[in-house]
Amino acid sequence: MFHPATADLSLPSVMHALSDPVRLAIVAQLAAAGSDPCGDVDVDLHKSTISHHYRVLREAGVTVTTVEGRTRIVRLRREDLDTRFPGLLDAVLRAVQN
């Protein structure tokens, strides 16, 4: 599974990943929960659509997916995002919650 290195995180890609209501909901849920089994997000969409959204988030470097046993676990790359784009994720999460 592709994950960009922290130094390769691109602002346009991260902004694009965070420009969709479903992906914003996933990110807000991950921020609240710490981690989630992939696909466990509480939205009423087809599984392949949800997978697409997880892939966009992962490939932009917003999330990291690890395989633990038979489950994929998704986490926010908080530290990496804060390192590259200080304050951005916090501002987005605040905005989602409003």
Residue 23 near residue 37, CB atoms below 8 Å? no
Q: Which is nearer to a copy of itself, 31 or 73 (CB)?
A: 31
Q: Which is nearer to a copy of itself, 69 or 98 (CB)?
A: 98
3-state helix, strand, coil in the chain (%, to 5): 55, 15, 30
Residues 11-50: x where in contact with a copy of itself by CB under 8 A, - otherwise, as a string: xxx-xx-xxxx--x--------------------------
Residue 63 near residue 18, CB atoms below 8 Å? no
Please select the residue that binds a copy of itself; options are 3, 39, 55, 85, rule is CB under 8 A. 85
Q: How many residues does the chain have?
A: 98
For the record, the structure tokens of 70 come out as 């038979």
Q: List contacts with a copy of itself (CB under 8 A).
A: 11-13, 15-16, 18-21, 24, 84-88, 90-92, 94-96, 98
